[in-house]
Structure 1
Amino acid sequence: MKKQKKRNVIVGQSGGPTAAINSSLAGVYRTAKERGYNKVYGMIHGVQGLLQERYIDLSKHIQTGLDEELLKRTPAAYLGSCRYKLPEIHEDQKTFEKIFRILDDLEIDCFIYIGGNDSMDTIKKLSDYALVFGSKIRFIGCPKTIDNDLALTDHTPGYGSAAKYIGTSVKEVIRDSWSLETEHGQVIVVEIMGRNAGWLTGASALSKGEDCDGPDAIYLPEVPFDMKKFLDHTRELLQKKASVVICVSEGIKTADGKYVTEEEGSPVYTDAFGHKQLAGTAAYLCRRVSEEIGCKTRAIEFSSLQRAASHFVSRIDILEAYEVGGAAMKAADEGYSGQMAVIIRTSDDPYQAGTEVKDVHKIANDEKLVPRDWINKEGNNVTDRFVSYVRPLIQGDVQPIMVDGIPRHLYVPGFQEMM
Structure 2
Amino acid sequence: MNGNVIVGQSGGPTAVINSSLAGVFKTALDRGANKIYGMCNGVKGLLDEKYVDLTDKLNSTMAIDLLKRTPSSALGSCRFKLPDIQKDKATYERIFEILKKLDIKFFFYIGGNDSMDTIDKLSKYAESVKSDIKFMGVPKTIDNDLAITDHTPGYGSAAKFIASTMKEIIRDGHVYDYPTISIVEIMGRNAGWLTAAASLAKSDDCEGVDLIYLPEKVFDVDHFLAKIRELSKTGKSIVVAVSEGIKVADGRFVFELAEHVEFVDAFGHKQMSGSAKFLANKVTAELGTKARAIELSTLQRCAAHMTSRTDITEAYNVGGAAVKAAFEGETGKVVVLKRVSDDPYMCITETADVSKIANVEKKVPLEWITDDDYVTQDLIHYIHPLIQAELSPIMVDGLPRHLNLTM
- Say whether the fold is shared (TM-score over 0.5): yes
Q: Which residue identity lines up with residue 385 of structure 2 in the other structure? A: P
Q: Which residue identity lines up with residue 394 of structure 1 in the other structure? A: I
Alignment counterpart, residue 66 of structure 1, candidates 62, 67, 88: 62
Alignment counterpart, residue 42 of structure 1, candidates 38, 44, 64: 38
SS of match in other structure, 1:240? coil
Q: Does 1:334 align with 2:328?
A: yes
Alignment counterpart, residue 150 of structure 1, candidates 146, 151, 169: 146
Q: Does 1:254 align with 2:240?
A: no
**After the TM superposition, which residues 291-306 of structure 1 pair with which residues of structure 2 at under 5 Å, given as runs?**
291-306=285-300
Where structure 1 has 5 or more consecutive residues not aligned to the other structure, the ranges are: 415-419
Counterpart-to-counterpart distance in 2, 1:377 and 1:300: 25
Q: Does 1:187 align with 2:154?
A: no
Residue in 2 that maps onto 1:404: 397
**After the TM superposition, which residues 354-373 of structure 1 pair with which residues of structure 2 at under 5 Å, given as runs?**
354-373=348-367
Residue in 1 that maps onto 2:13: 17
Q: Which residue identity lines up with residue 396 of structure 1 in the other structure? A: A
**After the TM superposition, which residues 136-147 of structure 1 pair with which residues of structure 2 at under 5 Å, given as runs?**
136-147=132-143
8 A contact 2:7–2:38 mirrored in 1: yes
The alpha-carbon distance between structure 1 residues 413 and 272, as it changes in their structure 2 partners (threshold 3 A), is closer
8 A contact 2:276–2:293 mirrored in 1: yes
Alignment counterpart, residue 206 of structure 1, candidates 200, 205, 212: 200
Counterpart-to-counterpart distance in 2, 1:263 and 1:307: 26
Counterpart-to-counterpart distance in 1, 2:218 and 2:355: 29
SS of match in other structure, 1:210? coil
Counterpart-to-counterpart distance in 2, 1:294 and 1:281: 19
8 A contact 2:9–2:41 mirrored in 1: yes
SS of match in other structure, 1:41? strand
**After the TM superposition, which residues 203-242 of structure 1 pair with which residues of structure 2 at under 5 Å, given as runs?**
203-242=197-236
SS of match in other structure, 2:230? helix
Q: Does 1:110 align with 2:106?
A: yes
Q: Which residue identity lines up with residue 285 of structure 2 in the other structure? A: E
**After the TM superposition, which residues 68-87 of structure 1 pair with which residues of structure 2 at under 5 Å, given as runs?**
68-87=64-83
Structure 1 position 264, deviation (Å): 2.2
Q: Does 1:381 align with 2:377?
A: no
Task: State the number of aligned residues.
Answer: 407
Where structure 2 has 5 or more consecutive residues not aligned to the other structure, the ranges are: none
Structure 1 position 281, deviation (Å): 1.1
**After the TM superposition, which residues 281-320 of structure 1 pair with which residues of structure 2 at under 5 Å, given as runs?**
281-320=275-314
Residue in 2 that maps onto 1:133: 129
Counterpart-to-counterpart distance in 2, 1:188 and 1:413: 40
Residue in 2 that maps onto 1:345: 339
TM-score (norm 2): 0.99
Q: Which residue identity lines up with residue 406 of structure 1 in the other structure? A: L
SS of match in other structure, 2:233? helix
Alignment counterpart, residue 277 of structure 1, candidates 256, 259, 271: 271
Q: Does 1:392 align with 2:388?
A: no
Q: Which residue identity lines up with residue 282 of structure 2 in the other structure? A: R
Structure 1 position 186, deviation (Å): 2.1
Residue in 2 that maps onto 1:417: none
Counterpart-to-counterpart distance in 2, 1:268 and 1:320: 36
Q: Which residue identity lines up with residue 198 of structure 2 in the other structure? A: S
SS of match in other structure, 2:204? coil
Aligned-residue identity in percent:
57
Counterpart-to-counterpart distance in 1, 2:2 and 2:381: 44
Q: CA RMSD in A?
A: 0.8
Counterpart-to-counterpart distance in 2, 1:11 and 1:385: 37
Counterpart-to-counterpart distance in 1, 2:259 and 2:349: 45
Counterpart-to-counterpart distance in 1, 2:32 and 2:406: 27
Counterpart-to-counterpart distance in 1, 2:388 and 2:136: 28
Structure 1 position 240, deviation (Å): 1.6
State the Cα deviation string for residues 167-189 of structure 1 (Å, max 9, x = none).
0000000000111123xx32100
Structure 1 position 413, deviation (Å): 5.1
SS of match in other structure, 1:341? strand
State the Cα deviation string for residues 287-318 of structure 1 (Å, max 9, x = none).
00000111111111110001101111000000
Residue in 2 that maps onto 1:324: 318
Q: Which residue identity lines up with residue 346 of structure 1 in the other structure? A: V
Residue in 1 that maps onto 2:238: 244
Structure 1 position 133, deviation (Å): 1.1
Counterpart-to-counterpart distance in 2, 1:273 and 1:265: 23
SS of match in other structure, 1:80? coil
Structure 1 position 265, deviation (Å): 4.4
State the Cα deviation string for residues 28-51 of structure 1 (Å, max 9, x = none).
000101111100000000000000
Structure 1 position 255, deviation (Å): 1.4
8 A contact 2:142–2:155 mirrored in 1: yes
8 A contact 2:40–2:406 mirrored in 1: no
Counterpart-to-counterpart distance in 2, 1:370 and 1:413: 37
Counterpart-to-counterpart distance in 1, 2:2 and 2:175: 63
Structure 1 position 242, deviation (Å): 2.4
